[in-house]
Amino acid sequence: MKLKHILVGLLGVVIVACAGFFAIAWKSAIAPITPPDRASFDQALVHKGAMLAAVGNCTACHTQPGGHSFAGGFALPTPFGTIYSSNITPDPETGIGAWSEAAFNRAMREGVSRDGKHLYPAFPFDHFTLVSDEDNKALYAFLMTRPPVKQTPPANELPFPLNVRLVLAGWKTLFFNEGAYQDVASESAEWNRGAYLVNGLGHCGACHTPRNALGAEKAGAHLAGGQAEGWTAFALDASSPAPVAWTQDSLYAYLRQGWHPDHGVTNGPMGEVTGNLGLLPDSDVHAIATYLASLMGTPSPERVQKGEEIRKQVSDSLALVSAPSPAADTPTGRGQAIYEAACATCHDGSRPLPFGGINFHLSTTINAPDAQNAINTVLFGLPAASGRQSAIMPGFAATMNDQQLADLLAYLRDNFAGKPAWADVASRAADTRNGKFQVSVRPSDGIERGPDNIGAQDQ
C-alpha cells in the first residue's frame, strides 16, 4: 500500500511539473493581418532596416545560393541535423506577409513564430533578443517592402525528439535570457554601442563562442573561439592566437575593409561578415573595434615586443627562424620543398597584401590551435569574387594528397609559428575532402550575396 501511495504522490508531482512546463512552453498565435501597403512605410526607415539586415546577416541565412533574396530554404547543417531557414519575404501564405509588427518583434525577442511555435536557435534569437524595438521596427519595414516570393522551405531533417518543437521550450528555460540590451553604466557610449552590435544583431558569438553538447553557447566563454560552416572562428578575447596582438586600430581597419597588413584577409564565412559591415557608418565599426579591443585587454609587454619583432623581420624579409633547413627526407623537409615550389612565390613575394599572400609569420591561421582553416584554404583556395577585384588563391585539392598536405603544414608550423605540427592533419584533410566537414568556400570579402540593390526594388 505504501508503495502505491508513493507512486500516486510521484505521479501528482509529475503532473504538476508538466502543467507548469506547458504553462511556460505554451505560446499563443498572434492574429494574421492583411499585408500592409508597401507605400505606408517611411523610406528612411526602410533604408535603416536594410543596413541593420546586413549587420544581422539575414540575407546569408535566408537565401539559397542563386535563389530569391529572403525566400528561405537555405540548409543549415548543425551537429543535430539539417535546419532550413524560413521564407521571410512578405508573401502572406509562405512568408511573413500576414505578420504584424508585434509578431515580428516576438520572433526576434523570444524566438517564437507568429502561430506560436518555438523556433530553433539556428535562428540566432539568443542574440537578436537584445535588438531594440526601434531597430526591429526598421527591420520590419525593410522586410515588408521586399518583393513577396511564394516558396515553402523543405522540412527540417532532425531526429526524434528534436523534431518536436516543444523540446525547445526546455532549451530556452536552460539557456536563453530574454530581453533588450541594457547599457553598462560604467562604460562609454561608444563601448555600449559596440557591445549592442557585437552581441545583438552582429551575433559574432554565434560563430566565435564555443558551444556545449546541447548547442548553446558556453557560459563564461564569451568569444573564446568557436566553429562555423566548417571553419574555426578564432578567439576574440585575451586568448586570441594572432601573432601580432590586435589593437583598436587594426580591428577597425580589418572590419572596415576585410583585411589588414598584420593579419591578412578575411576567409570563409568571415568574408561575408565584413562584406555586410561595409554598409555600417564608420562610427559603428569604430564602436565594434572599441568593444572588442576592451574584451581582448591590453596585451602584455612581452607580447607587444614579440609582435614588433615579427613585423620588423617580415618587413626586412629576414628569416625569423635561423635553424638549419630540415633534412630532405623528413616530413618538414618534404614540406619545405612543397612550400618553395607551390606557395613561396605569393607568400614570400614582393606583392603587398591584400592581393599578395601574407607572410606566414603573421598568419593567425598558421598559429591557430587547430589545422582546419589551413586545410580549407590550401584545398579550396580563395575563389575570385564576381564583378570586382578580390584576393585570389588557387586551391590545391587536385594536386596535393593528404600526406603531402600534412608535411607542408608541419613545415609551416615549425618554420613560421615555432610550434609543433598539428597531430591530425591527414585525417582531417580526408574528412574535409569527403564532405564529413561541410566547408563553405567564399571569396575574400564575400559580398556576393549582399542584399539586392534596394533602390532598384523600391521603385
Q: Are 47 and 259 in contact (CB under 8 A)?
A: no
Nearest residue to 80 (alpha-carbon basis) of 225, 212, 204, 205: 212
Of 3 and 257, nearer to ligand HEC (C-beta) is: 257
Which of 9, 130 has the CB closer to ligand HEC? 130
Least distance in angstroms from the C-beta of 138 to ligand HEC = 10
Judged by CB, which is closer to ligand HEC: 11, or 117? 117
Closest approach of Cβ 242 to ligand HEC, in Å?
4
Of the two residues 4 and 352, which places its CB atom closer to ligand HEC in the complex?
352
Q: How far is it, in rounded angstroms, from Cα 152 to Cα 158?
A: 18
Report d(CA 459, CA 456) in Å as an integer: 6
Does position 415 interact with ligand HEC (CB under 6 A)? The reply is no
Question: What is the rounded radius of gyration, in angstroms, for the C-alpha atoms of the chain?
Answer: 25
What mask of x and - would describe binding to ligand HEC in positions 213 to 232, judged by CB under 6 A? Answer: ---------------x--x-
Footprint (CB under 6 A) of ligand HEC, residues 251-290: 251, 254-255, 263-270, 273, 288
Contacts of 424 (CB under 8 A, 6+ apart): 371
243 binds ligand HEC (CB under 6 A): no
Per CB under 6 A, the segment of 11-19, 39-47, 78-86, 172-180 that binds ligand HEC is 78-86
Interaction between residue 46 and ligand HEC (CB under 6 A): no
Q: In this chain, which of 51, 122, 144, 429 binds ligand HEC, going by CB under 6 A?
A: 122
Residues 294-353 close enough to bind ligand HEC by CB under 6 A:
342-343, 345-347, 353
Amino acid type, 140: Y
Positive or negative, the CA dihedral 38, 40, 43, 44 is: negative
Hey, which residues between 343 and 402 contact ligand HEC (CB under 6 A)? 343, 345-347, 353-358, 363-365, 373-374, 377-378, 382, 391, 393-394, 396
Pick one of 124, 275, 307, 446: the residue that binds ligand HEC (CB under 6 A): 124
Residue choice 46, 50, 71, 88 for contact with ligand HEC (CB under 6 A): 88
421 near ligand HEC (CB under 6 A): no
Least distance from ligand HEC to the Cβ atom of residue 58, Å: 3
Q: How far is the CB of 5 from ligand HEC (least distance, A)?
A: 43
* CA 111/CA 117 separation, integer angstroms: 9
Applying CB under 6 A, the site for ligand HEC has a residue count of 74
